[in-house]
A = this chain, B = another copy of it.
C-alpha cells in the first residue's frame, strides 16, 4: 500500500466549485509517480531504460463524494499483479482532514515492448518497485 497527500487548487475545480472528475485520474497518476519516487526511482526514465511502454488499458472510478475546492486529499494505491504482464492500481481517494472516502476505482496498465509493440512481462526493475509498495504499510 502506498499513500500520498495531494493539495487541490483552483485550477482543478469546475464551475460547481468541486474538483472536475477527470482530474481524479490525474491525481491517481501523480500518486503512481510518487510510488516510484518513494522507491528511489523516477517512473519515466525507468520505463525508458527497460524499453517498455506502459499504456493504460482500463480505468474505473466510483465517485462517492465531491472533492471541495481547496481540500487536500490522500490517494491510496494498492497495486496488484494480474498475470505476468499487467498491473492493476486499485485506488482510494480520501479527504485528508476527515479520512472520508471520496472515490475508489482502479487503473490497469499493460507492459508493451517499445520496439515490437507486443505485450511483454513486467520488467524486473519495475516489478521490484511495485513489490516495494505492496510490502509497505
Contacts and interface: CB of A to CB of B under 8 A. Distances in A.
A59 interface: yes
User: Which of A14, A45, A66 has most chain B Cβ within 10 Å?
Assistant: A14
A19 to B, nearest CB: 10
B63 A55 contact: yes
Contacts of A10: 14-15, 20, 29, 33, 43-44
A25 interface: yes
Contact of A11 (B16, B30, B57, B69): B30
Interface of A: 9-11, 13-17, 20-23, 25-26, 29-30, 33, 42-45, 53, 55-64, 66, 69-70
